[in-house]
Structure 1
Amino acid sequence: MSRWILLACLLLAPLSALAQTSDPAPLQFRDTAEETRFQTLTHELRCVMCQNQSLADSNAQIAHDLRREVLTLMQQGKSDAEIKDYLVQRYGEFVLYRPPLETGTWLLWFGPALLLLLGAVIVWRVLARRRGALPTVADQDEQEW
């Protein structure tokens, strides 16, 4: 019985390796300028599945598909702004690594600085209270033992 299982595994292993091939054909660029533009653009876009990786760095299947779509749009003569607008319409502004400064994104842009400022104020107040609570040398001389 175990021989049949081993034989089945040996026969099916090559098929599973073929099924896991995620990007069978490499992207074909017309020239180095197009490749450079593609690399720059895909580093400015976020993978919609991975969330913390650029489209260029992600190995997710959707990232492969989106890279192909970006190249197709480039080869159709679309500008970088048109490609970004197209992806924003489909996936929202989340797809941009640097979303535009708008009313809805001000917290994203200025939130870290506000948190840092708030932390500095809290530390300053805690230190000020501690300085006020510590007895001075004059206070220690007046104490009776």
Structure 2
Amino acid sequence: MDDFSTPGHSNYFGFPPSPANFIRPGKRPMSSQSPLVIFHQNRSNVELLAVGGAGGSTIISGVAGVALHALWLKADVKQAVDAPRMHNQLQPNYTWYEPNFPKAYVKSLEDRGHVMLAVNNLTVVTAAERANDGQIYANSDFRKGEESAPAGY
């Protein structure tokens, strides 16, 4: 129910209430769902990367961060999903970051006036990629805990 707004109460992530998202019969809440399926244009539109996440308003930055690491920084799917995350949603105006985020980046942002808050875990992301060798590799986020551990063999 936290996806809905309640008059006079910010949600779990600190977003102020929005009248457009108040609870009403038959209404669906607005969502931050933002799954990505990215195709390789030069290989007959073969799927290259699929990314999805859970975590309310932190989903968008989590999914985008994994895609950035995988496609721009050339990380494999394991490295991309496991990389430390940060999130800023403008309201409230502070930036959450995981404790293993590079300290030099945190300091640089603080020097620019950002209010930085350390949190243990942000978005939980799952991703699959088709690597250059044609194999499909996937990673279920360690941030989810035991629930993401292998359940069989």
Higher relative contact order (CA 8 A, sep 6+): 2
Task: Please state which structure has a larger fraction of its residues in strand.
Answer: 2
Q: Confirm or deny a common fold (TM above 0.5).
A: no
TM-score by length of 2: 0.28
Which protein is bigger by CA-based radius of gyration? 1
Task: Please state which structure has a larger fraction of its residues in helix.
Answer: 1
